[in-house]
Amino acid sequence: MASNLDLQEQEQLDELKAFWKQYGNLITWGVTLVLGAFAAFNGWNYWQRDQGTKAAVMYEEFDKAIQAGDADQAGRVFSDLKERYARTAYAQQAGLQAAKLQADKGKDDAAQASLTWVAEQATDEEYKALAHLRLSALLLDKKAYDDALKHLDAIKSPEFAALVDDRRGDILLASGKKDDASKAYMAAYKAMNDQVEYRRIVEAKLASLGAAPEPAAAASGVAQ
């Protein structure tokens, strides 16, 4: 009986050796890759947390400069943020805030540089859209109409469609294209919820061009 068991065990051992000889390297590499991917995933999460924590500390310094209205200091801290922690939300938020303060202080070139970085480097589409929208306003003030329109064309987020059309109307009107401006304002007006206060401003722009939209009640009465 013992010899039969020994024989069976030997056969199983031989089969295992043959199997491992044929597939051992493949299994080893597969396990190595899985373990490597798991380690990389954990390492990436740790790196992100570490980056976020360090960026948060630097952002506190940035926020102090913003609160103090110190555009130069805010610009310096933002420069450090984008150099060290470019992929964090802190850097992208700082770019938008720095640009606003810089513009308020008359530092238009610095504001444009900050916004351009966000527009080109931000990982969040909303930040990129806001940067492009604000860049279009800066360029409108500089009468760089074609460049301003290019920034509007770069905005793909549907949530910004109404604001984009409104800004497009401003640019077209400033460049003397009243009919095109009227169309853009009308598109903005129709895209905005009637509860949005800014819609009245768009309506006033349309009225100034002789293209005021019909009141909803009047329009429904005609339809009947």
Model pLDDT for residues 39-56, shown as the tens digit of each residue:
443 443 444 565 668 788
The H or E element containing residue 149 is helix 145-153
Q: Which residue has the higher pLDDT, 132 or 25?
A: 132
The token pair that represents 98 in the structure block: 């720095």
What is the model's pLDDT at position 1? 47
Q: Mean pLDDT over all residues of the chain? A: 82
Total-model pTM: 0.73
What is the model's pLDDT at position 140? 95
CA-only gyration radius of the chain, Å = 30
What is the model's pLDDT at position 224? 38
Q: Under 8 Å CB-to-CB from 139, ≥6 apart: which residues?
A: 112, 145, 147, 148, 151
Is residue 25's pLDDT more than 90? no
Domain ranges of the chain: 56-145, 157-212
Nearest to 148 by CA among 124, 128, 164: 164
Q: Where are the beta strands (DSSP E) in 59-167?
A: none
Model pLDDT for residues 165-179, shown as the tens digit of each residue:
999 999 999 999 999
What is the model's pLDDT at position 41? 38
The highest-level CATH class for domain 56-145 is mainly alpha
What is the model's pLDDT at position 51? 63
Number of Cβ within a 10 Å radius of residue 124: 12
